[in-house]
Amino acid sequence: MFSWSWAFSMEEECLNTESVGNDDAADECGIEGDCAMTEYVNQTGVIENPLPPSVGMEFESYEDVYYFYNCYAKQQGYGIRVSNTWYRKSKERYRGKLSCSSAGFKKKSEANRPRPETRTGCPAMVKFRLMENKRWKIIEVELEHNHLITPGSGKFYKSHKIIGPGTKRTLQLDGPEEVQKIKLFRTVIVDAEGNGGVDTDGGQFGNDVLLPSQLKLKEGDAQAVQSFFFRLQLMDPNFFYVVELNEKGYMRNLFWTDARSRAAYGYFCDVIAIDTMCLTYKFEVPLVAFIGVNHHGQPILLGCGMLADETTESYTWLLRAWLTCMLGRPPQAIITDHHKTLQTAVADVFPRASHCFYLSRIVQRIPETLGELFDFEAIKVSLSKVVYCFLRPEEFEAAWEEMTQHHGIRDHKWIQTLYEDRKRWVPAYLKETFLAGMLPLQQNETAASFFEGYLDRHTSLKEFMDNYDQALQANRQLESLADMDSRNSSFMLKSRCFFELQLSKLYTNEIQRRFEREVEGMYSCFSTTQAHVDGQVMTYLVKEEVEVEGSKRETRDFEVMYNASEMDVLCVCGLFNFSGFLCRHALSVLNQNGLEEIPPQYILTRWRKDMKRSYVLDHSCRGIDINNPIHRYDHLYKCIVRVVEEGRKSQDCSKATQQALADMLSKLHLVEDRPPAM
């Protein structure tokens, strides 16, 4: 298999402005044109969907930019044209502008019956220029049109009539559910005398001074990265990786993921965590991991990256690379460390997602940030009580003000920052956000790293890459065992509660165990009384004995609202959104109202044991060119992996699969031995 990557830089250059300075130098000139290119050479590689152009993308040639933008335009439903090309006195092109075919307006005609105006002055365009490393980089993008476009309409435009070498066929782009054949651009990774260089021209840079925007690699690490990516791609043709280069051509940032992770995200795309612990604690491997949670409540890997620095630009590049890989479908909620630059990047790339901070990691930082204060232990106890014990925003606000005043820490910089960001980490503010159990919200709960046991502060890059497969396989084996356990064994009920019996038939065993703790907790709720009624909504107060400060216990009131006509129940503790199942207080209210089953809206599909899922990306075969051996290979590989996925489910399926494959091989040998048709 070929190994392809798409290299681009996130440096913002001439963003939404007309260029000045060097572009208008005396020895250079701009030439306007209204021509459409009719020839494209050197088409290699494939990708599954046309990516939207963005500032920082880099390409090998001027023609590559045109081809890429033309493919994107056809998928979106519009044509393009070359509106400007700039040349130096040496006749070398150094800058270009491609526009929507409806850009500008036609010159007025002196004819008696002039043709009607078809252009609209559309602003959609891309500008790009030749960089020092001889690659072409997009420096400005406008995606919005001032006229109607119809994605996938199949409408013909002049620019789409691109002729490939030795063929007479138009550019092939099928519907959104089919395989999209778009060019990728190769990046060669080589060692540069221990500097971890990536030289797109295959040369050496020698012992240059290490740039701050460069991965700090040891001798042989760059070659290890290349071998790592090549090995994973041989095992998985849908393995995806991206390399960002700095201005010298060295590796700056990396991102990679495999087909299984991409397919898993299709089922569990509601909440993700971005783990930057390795950067925060200065690990030797600057790893960033994208983590989701499956139907057993187990962490699943959705992609990895390595960053040269913790700048907003690097984080933005990584998040955009991940989102592109996941076909542009953002999650509903994102959990990260409390990090300002990452917060800015998340807001830029995922503007509609709820962004939360790890509460447990904020609590872990209390000793290092407040440890030098005189009454540190008292402050720590007070801070924990304010965060964990007050369930309503107004209660938290009052308690926080009292605490900071009492301990004299109101002007402490870190405390001020925490308060400014309170809506992203304090449980009282997060009850409207679904978090699927991924955000530990109880005292003494911590967020574990996906690679715990395989990666520590002193693990080298080579060691990590050797351990990477083991970590993935161990995780996936745990998922397979949990699947088998939930499918083949009946859950042992600890009570005769109807709710527990109902969900034991639906939920995976691990989620059922978590729900069971809430059923058991119903017995700690010794009083459920109706407080008041407002139309259809009844408000109850549920009293519960809770454990505080070790063995001490105290009684707390939890307000639960219940609408009998809509079968809606809402508890002030917010457990349903935090964990994905109802709390003991809501169950107590349902039980008091005579319900024997939990309403269906509170039984989430993402926790069900009968969830049908495949970890093979499903692509239609209608876009396959049967005369192209690479297309045939990719398509057959995807088909056979689906067979393997089905065959692994049981011993009988495995035997049937092996027999079917043996029969298939026999038939193929007969076809191979058959004399060619005359």
Report which of residues 335 and 184 the model is more confident about: 335
Minimum mean pLDDT range among 261-275, 427-441, 484-498, 596-610? 484-498
Within this chain, do residues 298 and 438 fall inside the same structural domain, yes or no? yes
Within this chain, do residues 284 and 405 fall inside the same structural domain, yes or no? no
The residue behind tokens 């998340």 is 346
First to last CA, the chain: 33
- Under the banding of pLDDT at 50, 70 and 90, the label for residue 339 is very high
Residues of the chain with pLDDT > 90: what percent? 47
Does 493 fall in a domain? no
Pick from 359, 358, 316, 332: nearest CA to 272: 332
| Tally of structural domains, the chain | 5
Helix segments in 390-534, DSSP class H: 393-407, 413-420, 461-488, 498-504, 509-521
Within this chain, do residues 536 and 644 fall inside the same structural domain, yes or no? no
Is residue 495 within 8 Å of 520, Cβ to Cβ?
Answer: yes
Within this chain, do residues 292 and 336 fall inside the same structural domain, yes or no? yes
Minimum mean pLDDT range among 23-27, 246-250, 653-657? 23-27
- Residue 85 to residue 94: CA distance in whole angstroms: 8
Output the CA torsion 25→26→27→33 (10° steps): 80
Within this chain, do residues 308 and 403 fall inside the same structural domain, yes or no? no
- Crossing angle between the packed helical segments 393-407 and 376-389, to the nearest 10 degrees: 170
Pick from 306, 430, 416: nearest CA to 358: 430
Within this chain, do residues 443 and 335 fall inside the same structural domain, yes or no? yes
- Under the banding of pLDDT at 50, 70 and 90, the label for residue 489 is confident
Which residue range forms the structural domain that includes residue 152? 57-104+119-160
pLDDT in tens, 32-73: 343 333 233 333 333 334 568 888 888 888 988 998 888 888
Does 487 fall in a domain? no
Does 5 fall in a domain? no
pLDDT in tens, 646-671: 787 788 888 899 999 988 888 887 77
Q: According to the model, what pLDDT value does residue 202 have?
A: 34
Q: Is the pLDDT of residue 675 over 50?
A: yes
Does 455 fall in a domain? yes
Pick from 600, 542, 543: nearest CA to 566: 600
Reading the block at residue 545, the tokens are 């004995």
Backbone angles phi, psi at 252, to 5 degrees: -105, -55
- Residue 141 to residue 321: CA distance in whole angstroms: 17
- Residue 343 to residue 336: CA distance in whole angstroms: 8
> What are 354's strand-pairing partners?
333
Q: According to the model, what pLDDT value does residue 581 have?
A: 97
Residue-wise over 81-104: b if at least 16 C-beta within 10 A, else e?
bbbebbeeeeeeebbbbbbbbbbb
- Residue 623 to residue 631: CA distance in whole angstroms: 9
Q: According to the model, what pLDDT value does residue 617 have?
A: 53
Q: Is the pLDDT of residue 17 over 70?
A: no
- Residue 580 to residue 566: CA distance in whole angstroms: 19
Which amino acid, residue 648? R
- Residue 404 to residue 394: CA distance in whole angstroms: 16
Q: What is the pTM of this model?
A: 0.66
Does 647 fall in a domain? yes
Taking residues 482-501, what's their average pLDDT? 83
Does 557 fall in a domain? yes
pLDDT in tens, 216-233: 888 889 888 988 998 888
Return the ∠ at Cα 438 (arms to 465 and 392), rounded to 5°.
150
- Residue 261 to residue 274: CA distance in whole angstroms: 15
Reading the block at residue 416, the tokens are 């001020």
Within this chain, do residues 265 and 348 fall inside the same structural domain, yes or no? yes
Does 528 fall in a domain? yes
Q: According to the model, what pLDDT value does residue 472 have?
A: 92
The residue behind tokens 């996941």 is 326
Reading the block at residue 98, the tokens are 């491609």
Minimum mean pLDDT range among 57-71, 414-428, 507-521, 568-582? 57-71
Within this chain, do residues 344 and 452 fall inside the same structural domain, yes or no? yes
Q: What share of the chain is helix, strand, coil (3-state, %, to 5)?
A: 35, 20, 45
Exposed (0-12), middle (13-18) or buried (19+): which is 574, by Cβ within 10 Å?
buried
Any idea what the CATH number is for the domain that residue 264 is in?
3.30.420
* Mean pLDDT for the chain overall: 80
Within this chain, do residues 288 and 147 fall inside the same structural domain, yes or no? no
Minimum mean pLDDT range among 200-209, 420-429, 472-481, 623-632? 200-209
Within this chain, do residues 446 and 303 fall inside the same structural domain, yes or no? yes
Within this chain, do residues 555 and 413 fall inside the same structural domain, yes or no? no
- Under the banding of pLDDT at 50, 70 and 90, the label for residue 406 is very high
- Residue 205 to residue 132: CA distance in whole angstroms: 14
pLDDT in tens, 264-299: 999 999 999 999 999 999 999 999 999 999 999 999
Q: Is the pLDDT of residue 236 over 60?
A: yes
Within this chain, do residues 141 and 82 fall inside the same structural domain, yes or no? yes
Does 676 fall in a domain? no
